[in-house]
Amino acid sequence: MNKAGISLNDPRLAKFTKALNELQGNKINRNVLQSKSLTLDRETFRIVAKENLHMLLRIMTNDFCIPDFESFASEIQTVFNLCKENTSGQVASYIPELKEMNPNYWGLSLCTVDGQRLSMGDSTIPFTIQSSSKPITYALALTDLGPQHVHQYVGYEPSGLPFNQISLNHKKRFKYVENKFSQMAGGLPMGFNNAVFLSERETADRNFAIAYYMRENKCFPPTFELRELMDFYFQICSIEVTCESAGIMAGTLANGGINPLTNETVVSAAAARDTLSVMHSCGMYDYSGQFAFKVGLPCKSGVSGIIMVVVPNLLGLAVWSPPIDRHGNSARVELKVQISQYFWTVHIVQNVVV
């Protein structure tokens, strides 16, 4: 399972794991199989394995989109270690709570469309998702309301402007969004950082100025409460994820809106496609054009230091390092450039190269 990139806590192996738990008499963990402390005879294994036989056969035959996962992981580890040496950038300070984050944190996690997973570094440390939430909320809006309604108020042209530039491109719902985020992450729980939420709201003069400007120019639906809407936005930005949960979210987008671990359709295929299109052109603030040229893959950054990258039909990747550059992107952004060289054949326009 380790060689194939499949975790023992993969929900597709839940029945198998439960059966092992019952045999063992206590909770299974990853070290049990590694240490060979649980020995089964042929008949017992047959009974246990039948619960998730199809998945176990795929593991034994490496029937996944990345068959040689060990070599793949080794190459990613090399790039990860190389980029760790980059100590440039500064932790975001315009939101007071964010500047308290340890600048040395450096994590990575990816999830393929077949549910193979790889995590490195500080991949389980929680942090606020910030603007990397926008592809998910955009995809949810497209799924629930349809593109015609959404694009009455939201454009899809890259502006080439900073993320908080004033521009016309314009109690239950938060719980709904939080649950959808969790579904995107294969059921992993979402946290909420109330201190960051209050900090963002306290220092939101520019965001409120943008919102009032948009309201003046009829960029919102007729019936809405501006302050309530802004609170909702700050709440979403303050949702806590880890590299592991964000990587699975990106993997869900890579898989056309279907979660690779649960096989649950969270957003429609059309919404996933349209979201990736906008991520490709607009996902990195005023660095979007350069990133699209160099990497050629959909991505979205946030000022907490997260960047989600999607390789359509292959995998989703989340990396996190709090120091950001002048564009508001993680200063270790060159990791994605170097990893993209590994995935050069999936550059969005690579098939036109002779």
pLDDT tens for each residue of the chain, 354 residues long: 889 999 988 999 999 888 888 877 654 554 444 444 677 888 888 888 888 999 999 999 999 999 999 999 998 898 888 888 888 888 988 788 888 899 999 999 999 999 999 999 999 999 999 999 999 999 998 998 888 888 777 766 555 455 444 333 336 888 889 999 999 999 999 999 999 999 989 888 888 999 999 888 888 877 778 888 899 999 999 999 999 999 999 999 999 999 999 999 999 999 999 999 999 988 887 778 888 777 788 999 998 999 999 999 999 999 999 998 888 888 876 655 555 555 545 444 444 444
Q: Which domains does the chain have, with CATH numbers?
A: 11-61 (no CATH), 69-352 (3.40.710.10)
Q: Give the total residue count for the chain.
A: 354
Give 72's contacts (C-beta < 8 A, 6+ positions apart). Answer: 5, 66, 118
Q: Which amino acid is at 113?
A: V
Straight-line distance from the first to the last Cα atom of the chain, in angstroms, rounded to the nearest whole number: 38
Question: How many helices (H) and strands (E) would you count in the chain?
Answer: 15, 10
Q: How far apart are CA 62 and CA 67, in angstroms?
A: 5
**Cα-to-chain-centroid distance, residue 55:** 24
Eight-class DSSP state of 99: G
Q: How far apart are CA 303 and CA 281, in angstroms?
A: 18
Q: How far apart are CA 185 and CA 251, in angstroms?
A: 9
| Closest by Cα among 339, 299, 305 to 321 | 305
Q: How far apart are CA 251 and CA 309, in angstroms?
A: 9
Name the pTM for this structure.
Answer: 0.86
